[in-house]
Amino acid sequence: MRISLPPIAALALTALTGCPPADQPAAEGEGEGEGEGEGEGEGEPSDADVDRFFAAVSGLWSGPATNTPLGDYPLMTMDLRAADSRSLFSRTDLDDDNALRFAFDRENLDSGPSLVFRNGGFFEGVLRDSRTRLVEVDVDAGVYRFCSVDRGCSYIDASWTIGGDELRLDASVLGLVHIVWDASRAEERTMPADFDATAAAADLPLPTLSTLRTTVTFPAVTAAADVWVVLSTTPCGPTFACTAARQKKVAVDVGATSATVVIDQLHPGDYVINVLLDRDRNLAETLFPATGDGVAAPDGTVSVVGAEVNTAKAIVFTL
């Protein structure tokens, strides 16, 4: 099973992997500082390093997130691909209040043009956006080290190690390990021909992508349940045996007969869509549908074009 279904605690990493505490404001637009801290000044990464990183990190990546203060999680998937001609973006969701986002672009900081890794999203409905800059590259080892734009490596220190179809993210905050993500590239993502990673202002918002709104109908549930919508670029079948590009769930109460699942910041394109009624609400732990769960007709298709697309699915089978 390669569908990524992180429990809610995993999405707390949006607050832990370099984001401010809950009583501090979100750092949207923050970070035009000097980037002072360890790891600076040992040779600025070159344009070739930046180009090499973009080419290496693009792809659909999936693997366990471990060594977090909240425990280990079996699977986290990120669909890192170009969002425009200058940035890469990916997002994973659990529900309307919890999401994790990664983004990479070049920004004109006070110290000059830099490759920036933005990490954040929503944690319990609060938007977080922490920004780090590329400070060190080991080409032979495939290691790219990023540190907090305004507080340096002593605050956030995140290293991406990429070799072929294997990737590892090691991130620490204030010297304490907060995530180790060992992932494999499940699918390639081709960079667009016009991708040039042009440096832009440091306070630009994230790229505007698409929204998919799926209305799911089903027989009235006799107990609270979860409705999952799973998008992939390959067939999943009724067992959901695929690597999900995006997925999201909503909770429904006793007696409910429908739910609407909204997936925001979605890369445009053609997707395979599968829908599950998780009656025993254990899919996030088992990563596999159980007997008694409901499914829609498997491997439907949806084309996501423009600002918003609406689609409808009905639960018609019980496993």
210-318: CATH class: mainly beta
8-201: CATH class: mainly beta
The CA distance from 80 to 230, in Å, is: 17
Distances, alpha carbon 98 to alpha carbons 15, 69, 164, 212, in Å: 11, 18, 31, 17
> For residue 70, what pLDDT is reported?
66
Show pLDDT as tens, one digit a residue, over the chain (319 residues). 455 545 433 444 444 444 443 333 333 333 333 334 344 434 578 999 999 999 999 999 999 989 876 678 788 899 999 999 999 999 998 777 888 899 999 999 998 999 999 988 877 778 788 899 999 999 999 999 999 999 999 999 999 999 999 999 999 999 999 889 999 999 999 999 999 989 999 988 988 999 999 999 999 999 999 999 999 999 988 777 889 999 999 999 999 999 999 999 999 999 999 999 999 998 877 778 889 999 999 999 999 999 999 999 999 999 9
> For residue 22, what pLDDT is reported?
34
> For residue 2, what pLDDT is reported?
54
Count the neighbouring beta carbons within 10 Å of the beta carbon of residue 119.
24
> For residue 180, what pLDDT is reported?
95
**75 class by beta-carbon count within 10 Å (0-12 exposed, 13-18 middle, 19+ buried):** buried
Q: Domain residues of the chain, as ranges? A: 8-201, 210-318
> For residue 3, what pLDDT is reported?
55
Residue 265 · residue 243 · CB < 8 Å? no
